[in-house]
């Protein structure tokens, strides 16, 4: 668990071969640690994230939203 990083939505498609994770964080510098931690989880073994999108969360101007996705086949 990384303090201040919250996962809001997980989408799994294409027979569990494509993952899209969406969430928010207070400090963008926390995201690399979060991604490293995810890569160490068994469910993400062998999975590579290819797309990262950052955006200002309109509901809470203090938070930065993110979307992290695996390669689309």
Tens of each residue's pLDDT in the chain, 73 residues: 678 888 899 998 877 778 899 999 988 888 888 888 888 888 877 788 889 999 986 666 778 999 999 875 5
Tokens of 13: 């498609």
Residues 37 and 49 sit within 8 Å (Cβ to Cβ):
no
What one-character-per-residue DSSP string does 28-59 give? GGGHHHHHHHHHTSGGGTT--EEEEEEEE-SS
Residues 50 and 70 sit within 8 Å (Cβ to Cβ):
yes
């Amino acid at each position: 668990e990384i303090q201040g990083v919250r996962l809001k939505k997980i989408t799994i498609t294409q027979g569990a071969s494509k993952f899209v994770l969406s969430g928010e964080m207070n400090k963008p510098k926390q995201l690399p640690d979060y991604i490293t931690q995810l890569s160490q989880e068994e469910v993400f073994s062998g999975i590579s994230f290819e797309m990262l999108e950052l955006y200002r969360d309109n509901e809470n101007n203090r938070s930065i939203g993110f979307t992290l996705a695996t390669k689309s086949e």
